[in-house]
Amino acid sequence: MDFLAFLVTQCLNALSQAALLFFLGCGLTLIFGIMRIVNFAHGAFFMLGAYVGWSAVYVTGSFWGALVAAPILVGGFGAAFEMGILRRLYGRDGHSFLMVTFGLTLMMGEAIRLIWGVAALQVVMPQSLSGIVFILDEPFPIYRLFLAGAGIVVAVVIWQFLERTRLGLLIRATSQNAEMVHALGTDVRLVRSAVFGIGCGLAGIGGVFAAPMVTASLGMAPNAVIDTFVIVIIGGMGSFLGSMIGALLVAFVQVFGSYYFPDFALAFMYLIMLTILVVRPGGLLGKEA
């Protein structure tokens, strides 16, 4: 394999990986930005997405069906949780949210084990995406290209949503000054439910996207939540663009780092995070916290 081919395929690998991380990080950062909640359960929503995706494929027979069903169901569940539980806790300190989302993580993990069982489940990718293309004579999976593309599409959609739509405007306004938005006659509670739902839905869609590559399994949640934290922290808590940069940075460092220095693969992510926080305590694009 020549160096150019190596470079191109590795970069594409990193992009596809960044897309997955972005689905997770973007939701978490939205939730933090608007609600100041560190959602410990984010990994559990990601995992739920993969399992719901599996069931949706099972019922509808189509991966595309899963891509529609999972974010709606997972996001709906998230919004319901916000309305049922979190809503009672605004005005309390961060401890409450930490504990509630920790409790939710435990419950979701066990509920998923009871419903879907302990064995990992295969989510089959659609026929159209399961092929390979040759890039500079190197085989490359179409699914990964699709993933990288999906990441870009979702990023643009969210960005446009935040910039152009009324709900997006309200979300941005709420993150600046919730009281003001409330005073202007908008039900801030609904905005919060929507944001929590959207954030969880994004994690859910990430779960569906990840499932064909890693299967739906009970180990997904704890692994995902720490990665997500890292990228959101690197990018700056609450910054949408930051989560994108964080995802790219982590993905590239992981892909190239684990190639050249495989012994330090685990430490890399935390080293970047530490370095960035020391230089910029609020993360790359975050406000000084």
Partner 1 sequence: MAGLSRRTILTAAAASPVVLRHARGETPIKIGMPVALTGPAGEIGTQMRHGAEFWAKETNAAGGILGRPIELIIQDTTGDPATCVRKAQDVVERDGCRLLFGMTLSSEALAVVPKLGEWNAIFMSSDNGDGRLTGSSFVPNFFRANISGPMETRVISLWLRQGKLGKFFALGMDYAWGHNSIGVFQDEVKRAGKTFVGDVYSPIGTKDFSTYITKIRQSGADGCFLVLQGDDNAAFLSQARDYRLQDKVQLITSIVDLNSIHAVGDAAIGLAGSTRYVATIDNPKNQAFVAAWQKQYNALPDVFEGEQYQACKMLQAGIEEAKSIDADKLRPALESAKIDSIKGPVAMRACDHQAVQGGYIVKVVKKDGAKFPVPEIVTTFPGDQVTPACRQMTFDS
Partner 2 sequence: MRMTIAVAVLLALLPLGLPPYAMTLLTEALIMALFAMSLDLMVGYARLISFGHAAAYGLGAYTCGNILLHTDIPLPFAVLMAGVFSGVVAIGVAWVCTLATGVSFSMLTLAFGQLLYAVAFKWTSVTGASDGLAGIPRTKGPFGTAFFGTKTGFYYLTMACLFGSFLFARAVVRSPFGAVLRGIRENEAKTLSLGYNTRLYKIAVVAMSYMLGGLAGALYAPFAGFANTELLFWLLSGQVLIMVIVGGTGTLVGPILGAVFFLLVQQQLSTYTDSWALVFGAIFILFVLFVPDGIMGLARRRRAH
Please report, as ranges, the residues that interact with partner 1 according to CB under 8 A: 1, 6, 9-10, 13, 16-17, 20, 109-110, 113-114, 117-122, 124, 130, 132, 139-141, 143-144, 210, 212-215, 217-220, 223, 254-256, 258-259, 262-263, 265-266
Q: Choose the one of partner 2, partner 1, none that binds residue 124, judging by a C-beta under 5 to 8 angstroms depending on kind.
A: partner 1
Q: Choose the one of partner 2, partner 1, none that binds residue 210, judging by a C-beta under 5 to 8 angstroms depending on kind.
A: partner 1
* Nearest CB to partner 1, comparing residues 49 and 286: 49
* Nearest CB to partner 2, comparing residues 6 and 102: 102
CB of 259 to partner 1, least distance (A): 5
CA–CA distance from 289 to each of 134, 169, 216, 252 (Å)?
46, 23, 36, 26
Q: Among residues 14, 39, 45, which one has the least CA distance to residue 202?
A: 45
* Nearest CB to partner 2, comparing residues 59 and 99: 99
CA 125 to CA 39: how far, in whole Å?
29
Q: Choose the one of partner 1, partner 2, none that binds residue 88, judging by a C-beta under 5 to 8 angstroms depending on kind.
A: partner 2
* Nearest CB to partner 1, comparing residues 42 and 144: 144
CB of 182 to partner 1, least distance (A): 41
Q: Choose the one of partner 1, partner 2, none that binds residue 1, judging by a C-beta under 5 to 8 angstroms depending on kind.
A: partner 1
CA 252 to CA 17: how far, in whole Å?
8
* Nearest CB to partner 2, comparing residues 67 and 233: 233
CA 176 to CA 190: how far, in whole Å?
16
CB atoms within 10 A of CB 125: 18
CA 233 to CA 36: how far, in whole Å?
13
CA 280 to CA 178: how far, in whole Å?
26
Burial of 258 (0-12, 13-18, 19+ CB in 10 A): middle
